[in-house]
Every structure is written in structure tokens, then in C-alpha cells.
Amino acid sequence: MKPFRIRNIEINPPLILSPMAGVTDYTFRRLIKRRGGVGLVVSEFISVEGLTRQNPKSKRQMRFDEEERPFAVQIFGGRPERMAMGAEMAEEVGADIVDVNCGCPAPKVVKGGGGSALLRDLPRLETILTAIKKSITIPLTLKMRVGYSESTINAVEVAKMAESVGVEHIQVHGRTREQGYKGMADWNLIGAVKDAVSVPVSGNGDITTIDYGMRRWAEANVDGILIGRGAMQNPWIFRQFDDVLNGRQPYQPDVAEKKAVLLEFFEMLQEEMPEIVALGKMKQLAGQFTKGLVGGAQFRQTLYHSHSAGEILDNITVYFETLAERQTFGDGLTEADKDLEILSCDALSNDPNACSDDETSCNVASTN
Ligand SMILES: Cc1cc2nc3c(=O)[nH]c(=O)nc-3n(C[C@H](O)[C@H](O)[C@H](O)COP(=O)(O)O)c2cc1C
């Protein structure tokens, strides 16, 4: 478990913030990166149909800051020429890596031949990867699920093909498209991909604690790991991992720091977007972030019912001050670590705004 390279780019530590549409935008990525321990960040997945038709939202999604480097832009689509053009645009804006999405299960994305649809059309995937390779000089990487369905698991075949056309890093989420988020990611399949190719392979799925992550990582013998939902619950998870990798005690933020990170996020959001949008994003992160905190459920209720920046800030202050003084809040209960239902793939993949290949205006909020 040591740093690895994607061509000349060092991924150090070998820990990656997994792309999440509607979450890993410019603001969230910087928030996480600043906590430390992140070796690579990736954009939300970006529609090449939107990008190549100059859709302002798609273009905005490629924006990044120097502090984020190394930075990968993830693109999705089903048409080789559009994918090549989209990849070229990512290189032009200065991204370090282009990543191709081969996992999105959203019906609209699949209908357009992109995302996980590519797992059942390898000739098309090969044409896409080859076209992209011709159009960029920066490294090309792939993020995939292990197959389209239980009966058509083909992660090893996909990975070998990808390697043969010049893909330089393969990231595997250990579930099938059909599975959505049900069950657990199969890290044995991830390990099988690692054994089958010589480019670096990173594993992904269900890592929310250091113990579980270390175990899976060691078993699958992968080069790196990606953490998605776990970073929303615990923005310090990468730093804690890095601590353990280096023989240190994992960093434990205190209540004051937890409060500070929410405030920092809200401030960054307000700089970037209208207040109403910032409020929505704040509620989304705070909803995940307070899982497992004493009185978290009741605190979330106060946030959901906040209608202005002032109200949100007041509620955050009251919550954390009460916690600091009395070590408790509201009913004093800490919920069990329930699934992140509001973010489940099924819920978001029904989003009517998810991109399809024939749309010019994409407002993507679907998941992979
Ligand atoms: C809200 C949400 C949005 C996602 N969007 C993307 C995406 O844009 N691209 C992608 O490759 N995967 C996406 N994913 C999948 C994650 O990157 C990751 O593969 C998956 O959540 C499993 O990892 P985890 O258990 O660490 O969250 C998304 C997941 C969620 C929950």
C-alpha cells in the first residue's frame, strides 16, 4: 500500500475521492482535499453531448483549482466521436487525466449507449477508448462496474481490453449495473481484475471505516482505493487512512472542527451559487455528515426546516455549542449507520433531468 503512478502522475497517497454526480463538484472536492490524505480527485461525470454542444453546465463542471491537482475529468457518452471531442476539451482545460464512465446505471444514460451500457457492448467501448487515445496526450483511465448483470460479469475481459488499447488505470466498483447499490461490493472480483492486468487497479465499494478498507485493500491487493459516500459522512476519512498507512493514530476531529468544516462548506457554496442552491447542497452534506453524531437526526430536522443562510448558521451554532457543552442534543440518540438512502442509485437514476445522448441540455443528477 504505497503511492502508485498513472504514467508520470503520482497518486500519493493512493486514495481517491470517487466521482459522485451532484456531490463532487468544485466546492466539495476542495473541501475534502483540504482535509488531507487525498491522492486524486475526479469531477462529477460530465455528458460529452452537453460538453460538445457548449452546454454551459457541462462546461462549468470541468472547472477546477490548482489546489486540486492531480485532477481527473470524468466523461460519459456512447458515441466515439463525441467522447473523443469531450476528452480533448478536458485536456484543453488542463485536466491531468481523462476518465471514462463505464458504470452509470441510470436508464437515460444507458439508453444513450453510455455508462454501464458499454459493459455489454465491448466493441463500442473499444472504439470509444481508441478514439479518445488518438485525441489526447494525457493519461486515459476507466471506471467500471464488474458487469452489467450477475450472469454477464465481465470485469476481467473489459479490463484486459482496456489495457490493450492504452488505458492506464482501471477503477472497479464491485457491483453490477443490475445490482444498483444492493448487497455489498464484491472485492474478490476486484482482486481478479488486479491479477489480470499490469496497469494499476483501484478498488471501490462500501468503504466507510478504516478497518474495513484496510481489509478489503489487502485482500484484493489493489494499488489504490476509491471512497465515495464514506467521504460525505466523514470528510477526514482519507487523512485517517493515510495516518494508518504511515503507522500513526488516525486523526480524530473534535466537535469544534466538525462545526468549522460545515461552516467552511457553506461559505464556499455561497461564493459559488445562489443562496437557494447553496442551502440545498448544505442540507445534503449535513444530512450525511451528521449520521452517527449524537442527536444528528434532530439536528437534520432543524436544517431541513431552515430557509435562509442565517437560519442555517444559527442552527449549526446551536447544535455544536450544545454538543460541546452538554455532550448531547435533542433526544441524545445516535442512529445506527443506516444506508444512505437519499443517495441511493435507484432514487437518483429516476431523475428526470439525467442526460441522454440526444439531449442538448443536461442537468445530470444520476448515479453510478
Ligand atoms: C450520489 C452519487 C453519485 C455518483 N455519481 C457517480 C459519477 O458521476 N461517476 C461515477 O463513476 N460514479 C458515480 N457514483 C458511484 C461512486 O463513485 C462509487 O462508485 C459508489 O458510490 C461506490 O463507492 P462507495 O461505496 O465508496 O460510495 C455515484 C455515487 C453516488 C452515491
Same domain (yes/no): 313, 171:
no
User: Ligand 1: which of 20, 118, 142 to mutate, most ligand atoms within 8 Å of CB?
Assistant: 20
Are 80 and 140 part of one and the same domain? yes
- How much distance in Å is there from the Cα of 36 to the middle of ligand 1? 20
User: Are 229 and 271 found together in one domain?
Assistant: no
Of 32, 42, 229, the residue with max ligand 1 atoms within 8 A of its CB, to mutate for a pocket test, comes to 229
User: 150: domain CATH number?
Assistant: 3.20.20.70
Q: How many domains would you assign to the chain?
A: 2
Q: Whose CA is nearest to atom 6 of ligand 1?
A: 20
Residue at 334 is within a domain: no
Q: State the pLDDT at residue 330.
A: 81
112 Cβ partners below 8 Å, 6+ apart? 49, 77, 78, 355, 356, 357, 358
Query: Quick check: is 306 in a domain?
Result: yes
Tell me, yes or no, whether 351 lies in a domain. Answer: no
Q: What atom of ligand 1 comes closest to residue 45's alpha carbon?
A: 8
Q: Within this chain, do residues 97 and 215 fall inside the same structural domain, yes or no?
A: yes
Alpha-carbon distances of 217 from 11, 37, 196, 204, rounded to whole Å: 16, 16, 16, 9
Long-range Cβ pairs for the range 210-219 (8 Å, 24+): 210/237, 210/240, 210/241, 210/244, 210/250, 213/241, 214/241, 214/244, 216/187, 217/1, 218/1, 219/187, 219/188, 219/191
Active-site residues, by number, are: 104
Kindly state whether residues 290 and 173 are assigned to the same domain: no
CA of residue 332 to ligand 1 center, whole Å = 32
In a domain, 18, yes or no: yes
Tell whether 270 and 234 lie within a shared domain: no
Q: What pLDDT does 352 receive?
A: 35
Verify that 267 and 199 share a domain, yes or no.
no
Distance from Cα 143 to the centre of ligand 1, integer Å? 10
pLDDT of the residue at 327: 77
- Residue closest via CA to ligand 1's atom 7 equals 20
For the entire predicted model, the pTM comes to 0.92
Same domain (yes/no): 314, 172: no
pLDDT at residue 289, rounded to an integer = 86
Atom of ligand 1 nearest to the CA of 348: 1
Verify that 165 and 194 share a domain, yes or no. Answer: yes
Among the candidates 229, 251, 273, a domain finishes at: 251
Strand-pairing partners, residue 10, are 5
Distance from the CA of 329 to the center of ligand 1, in angstroms? 32
pLDDT tens for the chain, 368 residues long, are 899 999 999 999 999 999 999 999 999 999 999 999 999 999 999 999 999 999 999 999 999 999 999 999 999 999 999 999 999 999 999 999 999 999 999 999 999 999 999 999 999 999 999 999 999 999 999 999 999 999 999 999 999 999 999 999 999 999 999 999 999 999 999 999 999 999 999 999 999 999 999 999 999 999 999 999 999 999 999 999 999 999 999 999 998 999 999 999 999 999 999 999 999 999 888 888 888 788 888 888 898 899 998 998 899 989 988 988 887 888 777 765 444 443 433 334 334 334 443 333 333 333 45
Query: Which ligand 1 atom sits nearest the alpha carbon of residue 175?
Result: 22
Pocket (CB within 6 angstroms of ligand 1): 18-23, 44-45, 74, 101, 103, 143, 173, 204-207, 227-230, 343, 348, 367-368
Domain closes at, from 251, 281, 300: 251
Q: Which of 251, 285, 311 is the last residue of a domain?
A: 251
The answer on 134 and 47 residing in a single domain is yes
102 and 234 inside one domain: yes
Residue 365 lies in a domain: no
Distance between Cα 204 and ligand 1 center (Å) = 9
Nearest to 21 by CA among 323, 297, 355: 355
Residue 73 lies in a domain: yes
Do residues 171 and 290 share a domain?
no
Residue nearest to atom 5 of ligand 1 (CA): 20
Q: What residue numbers bound the domain in which 277 lies? A: 255-326
Nearest CA to ligand 1 atom 23: 205
